[in-house]
Amino acid sequence: MNYEDKLQNVSVLGAAGKMGSGILLLTAIEMADLQLKPENQSKTFALNAIDVSPAALSGLFLYLKAQVRKIAEKKMVALRTVYKDRKDLIENGEIIDQYIDDVLKIVHTSTSIESTYNSGLIFEAIIENSDLKVKLITQILENNNNDPWFFTNTSSVPINELDTKANINGKILGFHFYNPPAVQRLVEIIAWEKTNKDLIEFAQAYAKKLRKTLVPSNDKAGFIGNGHFMRDILFGLKQAESLFDKMSFAEAFYAVNRISQDFMIRPMGIFQLMDYVGQDVCQKIMIVMRPRLNEDSLHSDLIDQLNSQDVKGGQNSDGSQKAGILFYEKGQPTAVYDPNKKDYVKIADFKEKVDNMLGALPSLHKPWKAVVGNKGKDQILSDYFNELKAMDTLGSQLTKDYVINSKNIGLKLVTDGVTEKEDHVNTVMLMGFFHAYGPINNYFN
C-alpha cells in the first residue's frame, strides 16, 4: 500500500487530549492536502477522532477550526493554486473558509473504538499505561481486516513490549511527538528488531511531509527525552533537599528552580517544567521506567505526595498553566507549595533573602531569550560559564553541580545504549526542550 492509500482512513486514539489533538490537527491537514490534489478527487479520506470524553470531543472542532485558520493564513499562495479553478473563491477570506471546511469535513468524532476497525493507520495517544495500550491494540487487531499499522506516541513504554504482548508482528513503532505537536519540530522515532521496514519508511515520509526532524532512539523505557528529563527532575529534587539545612521547603524549591532557569540559561526552571508536564504524568513515566530499567532511584516520594494532595500542574483548556509545585499568575510563578503545610508560600515573602544567599548572576549573564537564537551563542555561553566557573557563591556551585549532572545523565544514555550518539541526546534537549545548549558539553571538564 502506498503513502496516500495508507492515509485514506486513519484513527487517533486519545484525540481530544493535549497530544492527541495536535496529532489530529497535523494529520487532518496532511490528509486534506492529499484529497485536494486533482488526481485524488474521487478518493474518500476519513480521520476518526476517538476519545472517551464526549465533552472534550465537543470542543475539539473549535480547536481545529482556530488552528487550521492560522495554518491557512500562512499558506495562502499555495492555497490559491489549489483552488485556482474555483471561480467563486476570490478573496483570501473565502479561500481560507473553504480550506477550513475541507479539512474539518474529513474529521469524524467518536467515543467508540469500533471507529478504528476500517483504518489502515492508527495513532495511539492515550495515557502511559502499557496494559491499556495493549488491550486497545489487541481489540482493534481482532476486528480490523485492513492490516493496520500503529504509531504510538508513548514517551516511555518500550515498543517491543507493546508489539509482543499485542502480537502485532512488527507493525507498530514509537512516534513520539513533543508538546505541542503542531509547533514542536522534534519527533523521536523508536523501532526494534522486528519492526516492519515498510512502516519505518512510511514514518520517515510522513515526518518529512510534516517538516519534522526525526531523532532515532533505541527501545529502552523512557527513550532519550524522558530518559534525561526524569533524571533531571530527580536531581533537582535532591538538590532542593540538600538546602533544607539552610532554607525552608519553599525557599529551597524556589532556589533550585531559579538555578535551573536563570543561572543555567534555560527557558523554564526544572519545577516549572515539571508543572508544565504535570506531576501525574511524571509519576506515570517513572512508574514505567523504574522496573523496566531496574533502576530503583527512578522514583520520587515528593511527587507521590503532591499527587495524593491533588497538586498536579498541567494546563487548563485555554493553555494556561495550572498550579502545581508552583502557583502562577499571568504565567509567572508567584508562590511555592509546601506539602507539609498543604498551602502555598508567596515567593515575594522570601525572594530577596534567597537571592542574596545564592549570590549575583555572572556579569556576562544573558537571559535565555537573548541567547537561544543568537548566532554567536556558542561564544556567549563559553564566556558566561567561564566566568561562573571562577565564582565562589552558593548559586555558582549549585549551577556547576547541576550542569555536570545533566551532562552525566546524557552520557549515561549513550553508555546504556538508549542511543549511539551524543549528538542525538543534545538534539532532543535542544529541539524538544528548547534548551540553548546540549547537556553533553565541555563547560565544566
Is the pLDDT reported for residue 319 higher than 90? no
pLDDT attached to residue 335: 98
Question: Residue 126 and residue 134: Cα distance in Å, rounded?
Answer: 11
- In terms of DSSP bridges, do strands 46-50 and 326-329 run parallel, antiparallel, or are they unpaired? unpaired
Task: Choose the weakest-confidence range: 80-94, 201-215, 312-326.
Answer: 312-326
- Look at residues 77, 29, 36, 11 and name the one whose alpha carbon lies nearest to residue 181: 29
Residue 438, domain member (yes or no): no
Question: Residue 417 and residue 403: Cα distance in Å, rounded?
Answer: 22
**Is residue 44 domain-shared with residue 160, that is, in the same domain?**
yes
- Give CA angle at 216 (221, 141), nearest 5°: 65
343 forms beta bridges with: 338
Nine cell digits for residue 379 = 561564544
346 forms beta bridges with: 335
**Is residue 188 domain-shared with residue 294, that is, in the same domain?**
no
**Is residue 271 domain-shared with residue 371, that is, in the same domain?**
yes
**Is residue 123 domain-shared with residue 261, that is, in the same domain?**
no
346-350 mean pLDDT = 98
Say if CB 6 and CB 120 are below 8 A apart. yes
Residue 99, domain member (yes or no): yes
Say if CB 286 and CB 303 are below 8 A apart. yes
pLDDT attached to residue 76: 95
Which domain CATH number covers 405?
1.10.1040.10
pLDDT attached to residue 364: 98
pLDDT attached to residue 354: 98
**Is residue 193 domain-shared with residue 231, that is, in the same domain?**
no
191-205 mean pLDDT = 97
User: How many percent of the chain have pLDDT more than 90?
Assistant: 96
Residue 188 carries which side chain, given as an amino acid letter? E
- Domain encompassing residue 22: 3-217
Please write the tens of the pLDDT for every residue from 43-77: 999 999 999 999 889 889 999 999 999 999 999 99
**Is residue 175 domain-shared with residue 271, that is, in the same domain?**
no
Across the chain, mean pLDDT equals 96
Residue 39, domain member (yes or no): yes
Q: Which of 217, 238, 272 is the last residue of a domain?
A: 217
pLDDT attached to residue 320: 86
- In terms of DSSP bridges, do strands 332-338 and 107-110 run parallel, antiparallel, or are they unpaired? unpaired
Which domain CATH number covers 27?
3.40.50.720
301 C-beta neighbours (distance < 10 Å), count: 8
Residue 441, domain member (yes or no): no
- Look at residues 290, 283, 275 and name the one whose alpha carbon lies nearest to residue 221: 290
Please write the tens of the pLDDT for every residue from 113-165: 999 999 999 999 999 999 999 999 999 999 999 999 999 999 999 999 999 99
pLDDT attached to residue 17: 92
384-396 mean pLDDT = 97
Is the pLDDT reported for residue 198 higher than 70? yes
**Is residue 268 domain-shared with residue 341, that is, in the same domain?**
yes
327-354 mean pLDDT = 97
Is the pLDDT reported for residue 316 higher than 90? no
Is the pLDDT reported for residue 372 higher than 80? yes
Residue 443, domain member (yes or no): no
Is the pLDDT reported for residue 318 higher than 80? no
**Is residue 366 domain-shared with residue 237, that is, in the same domain?**
yes
Residue 313 carries which side chain, given as an amino acid letter? G
**Is residue 138 domain-shared with residue 272, that is, in the same domain?**
no
Q: Which of 217, 250, 272 is the last residue of a domain?
A: 217
**Is residue 210 domain-shared with residue 243, that is, in the same domain?**
no
12-16 mean pLDDT = 96
Residue 445, domain member (yes or no): no
**Is residue 270 domain-shared with residue 409, that is, in the same domain?**
yes
Phi, psi values for residue 326, rounded to 5°: -115, 150
420-432 mean pLDDT = 97
262-280 mean pLDDT = 97
Question: Residue 16 and residue 3: Cα distance in Å, rounded?
Answer: 25
Residue 444, domain member (yes or no): no
Radius of gyration of the CA atoms of the chain, in A: 23
Say if CB 132 and CB 13 are below 8 A apart. no
Is the pLDDT reported for residue 1 higher than 80? no
**Is residue 262 domain-shared with residue 405, that is, in the same domain?**
yes
Q: Which of 163, 193, 217 is the last residue of a domain?
A: 217
Residue 440, domain member (yes or no): no
Q: How many domains does the chain have?
A: 2
Report the length, in residues, of the chain.
445
Name the residue with cell 546540549.
438
